[in-house]
Amino acid sequence: MKISFLPLCVFFGLCQVLPAAVTLRSLGATGDGTTDDRRALEAAFAKSAGQPVDGEGLTYAVRGSVQVRTGVDLRNATIRQTLTGLDTTKWLRSAGNTLTPEVTPPDALRSMVNGVPLMRHDGVATYAEDPVVTGAELEAMREMLNIRTLFIYGEVGKPVPVKLEKVKILMGEDAEAGMHSNSAAVFIRYASPVTLKDVEVTGKGKGAGMFIHACQKVRMDGVYIHDLLWAPYRGDVAFSAEVLGRDFGWNNSPIYDFDERAGRFIRVRVQEQLTGLTLGDCANVEILNTRVERIGSIVDGEFLPWQADAMTISGVKGLVMRDCEISQAWEGIDFTGQGVDGFIQENIHIRDTFAYGFKYAHPQKNGKVINCTSERADYRSFTIGAECENIEFINCAALETGLHGRWVREGRARNGIAGFDLSFDEGHSPRNITLRDCRAENVAYPKTMEVGFSTSDRAQKAELNIRLINPTVIGATLREVDGFKVEQ
């Protein structure tokens, strides 16, 4: 006798058909690495409405910005940007003009150096012969200047959830594309929570590898941002490293930027054209096990970490950074702008920065920096601004500061190259700053760091509560400690 057993769910009529896994291809994308999947990805994310979507390990080519107004939960995908820069030469007719341009404000022009304007940070130079960009060319220009390969954004008061896991973003193949203030490989705004696990960003173009703005509950773990390159717009003056260092002090060379309101190119003083990670106006942020390396430009045919920060962080409340590695960037971690209130940085190692390793400018407060190392920063390993309050540095090390000598100027008795520097200015004094068991050591390059721990004599005022406890200094050429009162 043959006996058949039916599943109980059939007997009781309760069986359900399980849905197939949702993939980008099942939602209409191609994933062959060459077909433009931009609109298909936008439709796919809209359909999924924040539900998990698998990219199946495939590469999805896009031309321009994938704009998503809903939540995103994506894993196992590579998104490759194919939009390139424009040939801007015809709009930069003034590149060969050595006459003095019109500069606003007028007193921002310091001098003309080899036919190009040396300007203050707020100077804008315009030339009558540079044409206004109009019509279809202006639209193409705007598209190129605002490349956001994956652009996810909610609304004020209505954040969208974002989760990316095992996702790779290829920023592009053109170092001249994008704009430093507008473009990014990953651009996330008005989102909460934001979870980024094993996300990789690499490629060429101006802007940021990753830009996170106005978000809450951000957790980054295992993010890898690397080998990002920027270049001036086509037709701009090509500067050599010798000219940049000798005539413009690395930080003052003029560069063309685009004024969208006027529809024309202008010249401004160079500022960071590229960052690995830009984080602004966020709350409750964790950055763990993250690496950022090789962020810069090509000068004289070689890679140079010039005007390209690894991390720029501003306006953040509640930040935890642990076990991160940064190397070969203009500045390692730049706390700037509106500042960071409430932070912990622990076990962070920064190597081979062009200027600063750890930079705390503007009003940074209520922080602890523990077991952090800056190695081979060429100007200052740790710089602490005049508006900083309630920050403790514990067992931090500045190693081999100033080894390349890029910031040394002939005829100067002192160039400001220091392991740790605590600044004062006319209107501000840092308060409640403690450096405990910290080291400034130049062993392999003992003739490049001028001062181990440097500050103003004003730091000794009791009401400021500035303390240097048990420091170690090796290899300072001028003074081991300047301005601080040392406690043992």
Q: pLDDT digit string (tens) for 65-108?
A: 999 999 999 999 999 999 999 999 999 999 999 999 999 999 99
- So what's the pLDDT on residue 266? 97
Query: Side by side, which strands form the sheet with 333-335?
Result: 66-68, 148-153, 184-189, 207-213, 274-280, 308-314, 333-335, 356-360, 380-384, 418-422, 451-454, 479-482
Alpha helix stretches (DSSP H) within 238-317: 241-247
Supply φ then ψ for residue 107, to 5 degrees: -75, 0
User: For the residues 146-153, what does the mean pLDDT come to?
Assistant: 97
473 pLDDT above the threshold of 60: yes
- So what's the pLDDT on residue 16? 42
pLDDT tens for residues 111-149? 999 999 999 999 999 999 999 999 999 999 999 999 999
- So what's the pLDDT on residue 89? 96
- So what's the pLDDT on residue 35? 98
- So what's the pLDDT on residue 409? 86
pLDDT tens for residues 304-338? 999 999 999 999 999 999 999 999 999 999 999 99
18 pLDDT above the threshold of 50: no
Q: pLDDT band for position 15 (50/70/90)?
A: very low
12 pLDDT above the threshold of 50: no
pLDDT tens for residues 356-377? 999 999 899 999 999 999 999 9
Residue carrying structure tokens 């050595």: 98
- So what's the pLDDT on residue 10? 45
Widest distance between CA atoms in the chain: 106
Radius of gyration of the chain (CA): 25
Residue type, 356: Y
What mean pLDDT, rounded, does the chain reach? 94
Pick from 239, 241, 268, 287: which is nearest to 114 by CA?
A: 239
Q: pLDDT band for position 412 (50/70/90)?
A: confident
Q: pLDDT band for position 20 (50/70/90)?
A: low
- So what's the pLDDT on residue 410? 82
- So what's the pLDDT on residue 168? 98
> Percent of the chain, pLDDT > 70?
96
User: For the residues 456-476, what does the mean pLDDT come to?
Assistant: 97
Q: DSSP code of 403?
A: T
Write 409-415 long-range contacts (CB < 8 A, 24+). Answer: 409/249, 414/450, 414/478, 415/450
- So what's the pLDDT on residue 218? 98
User: For the residues 169-177, what does the mean pLDDT come to?
Assistant: 96
Q: pLDDT band for position 5 (50/70/90)?
A: very low
411 pLDDT above the threshold of 90: no
Contact 295, 309 (CB under 8 A): yes
> Percent of the chain, pLDDT > 90?
92
From CA 243, how far away is CA 117, in angstroms rounded? 14
pLDDT tens for residues 248-261? 999 999 999 999 99
User: For the residues 5-25, what does the mean pLDDT come to?
Assistant: 57
pLDDT tens for residues 218-227? 999 999 999 9
- What is this structure's pTM? 0.94
- So what's the pLDDT on residue 1? 42
3 pLDDT above the threshold of 60: no
Supply φ then ψ for residue 244, to 5 degrees: -60, -45
State how beta strands 52-62 and 389-394 pair: unpaired
pLDDT tens for residues 282-294? 999 999 999 999 9
268 pLDDT above the threshold of 70: yes
Q: pLDDT band for position 14 (50/70/90)?
A: very low
Q: Which domains does the chain have, with CATH numbers?
A: 8-79 (3.30.750), 89-138+238-267 (no CATH), 152-235+272-487 (2.160.20)
